[in-house]
């Protein structure tokens, strides 16, 4: 999959410009940058879920096909089995009125995939009894695992994860990142992991792009960006992640 020249403007204000990256099956790419850099907006544009007043430009090369990023209907067709999202606030993304199992079955039915909730839950390290729980009876880490199970339920080719660990404690963060990378590698799913925590993603993503102010300011192998930050935003991030006391 390749994203070419993604741009987004709202009311004449440029929020994203010139964002390009490519990713292969089973590969993990980190999207890094400070708050407000446009990281989440990149994901929303790829999903065809940018704000309705936004003008999105650019192209998505998808398994030999080219899709215009302005074509929300075409992007809607890709949601589910093509692209899936693990949102930042997992608990808020779940339907509070329905059990976890019912939500898993619904997603599978919508996308015509095999819907056995217990197996889906097992894949993300949750016992079968979680299928009968409502979202309010889940911890933050458990809700995030359910969101991951929902995203993986349709066997997407590309998983977009928007700071999925930001609201979790550090033990749960480490567990979730490990799970995310392990599941994606096992199913040959490409993973785009948005994060502002460089230290958290450094062991699981081989490559990264760095955004600041809606522009791509750096890209390349994460190890190289760390060893020799090419510009100030990356340098500030590396410095802050390395700082001890």
Partner 1 sequence: MNMSLETGSSGHVHEDMLVGRGLTVGERLRGVDLELGRSTGLAVIGRSGSGKSTLARALVGLEPELAGSLRLAGRELVGSPRAAWAELRARVQLVWQDPATALDPNLTIRRSIDEARLLAGRDRYGRDDPRAAALMERVALGPELLGRVPGALSGGQRQRAAIARALAAEPELLIVDEITSALDRPVAWTIVDLLRSLRTASIGLVMISHDLSFLPGTVEDVLVLAGGRPVESGPVTSVLTAPQAAATRALVDAAPRL
Binding footprint of partner 1 on the chain (CB under 8 A): 33-36, 139-141, 166-175, 196-200, 202, 226, 236-245
Closest CA to 180 of 156, 159, 206, 150: 159
The smaller minimum CB distance to partner 1, of residues 69 and 211, is found at 211
CA 132 to chain centre: 27
The smaller minimum CB distance to partner 1, of residues 153 and 194, is found at 194
**Least CB distance from residue 13 to partner 1, whole Å?**
16
**Least CB distance from residue 239 to partner 1, whole Å?**
8
> How far is Cα 208 from Cα 5, in angstroms, rounded to an integer?
16
Backbone angles phi, psi at 185, to 5 degrees: -65, -40
**Least CB distance from residue 52 to partner 1, whole Å?**
21
**Least CB distance from residue 242 to partner 1, whole Å?**
5
The smaller minimum CB distance to partner 1, of residues 11 and 171, is found at 171
Going by their DSSP bridges, the two strands 13-22 and 2-10 should be labelled as antiparallel
Residue 98: how many CB atoms within 10 A of its CB? Answer: 13
DSSP 129: G
The smaller minimum CB distance to partner 1, of residues 4 and 175, is found at 175
């Amino acid at each position: 999959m390749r994203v070419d020249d993604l741009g987004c403007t709202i009311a004449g204000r440029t929020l994203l410009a010139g964002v390009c990256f490519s990713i292969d099956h089973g590969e993990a790419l980190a999207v890094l940058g400070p708050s407000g850099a446009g990281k989440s907006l990149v994901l929303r544009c790829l999903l065809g879920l940018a704000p309705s007043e936004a003008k999105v430009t650019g192209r998505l090369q998808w398994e030999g096909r080219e899709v215009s990023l302005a074509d929300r209907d075409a992007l809607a067709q890709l949601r589910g089995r093509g692209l899936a999202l693990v949102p930042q606030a997992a608990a808020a993304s779940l339907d509070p009125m329905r059990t976890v199992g019912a939500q898993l079955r619904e997603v599978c039915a919508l996308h015509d995939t095999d819907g056995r909730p217990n197996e889906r839950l097992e894949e993300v390290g949750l016992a079968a009894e979680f299928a009968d729980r409502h979202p309010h009876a889940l911890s933050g880490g458990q809700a995030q695992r359910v969101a991951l199970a929902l995203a993986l339920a349709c066997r997407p080719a590309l998983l977009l994860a928007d700071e999925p660990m930001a609201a979790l404690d550090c033990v749960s963060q480490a567990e979730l990142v490990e799970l995310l990378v392990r599941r994606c590698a096992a199913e040959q799913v490409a993973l785009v992991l948005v994060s502002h925590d460089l230290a958290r993603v450094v062991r699981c993503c081989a490559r990264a792009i760095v955004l600041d102010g809606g522009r791509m300011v750096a890209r390349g192998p994460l190890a190289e960006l760390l060893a020799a930050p090419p510009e100030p935003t990356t340098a500030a991030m590396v410095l802050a992640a390395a700082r001890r006391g």
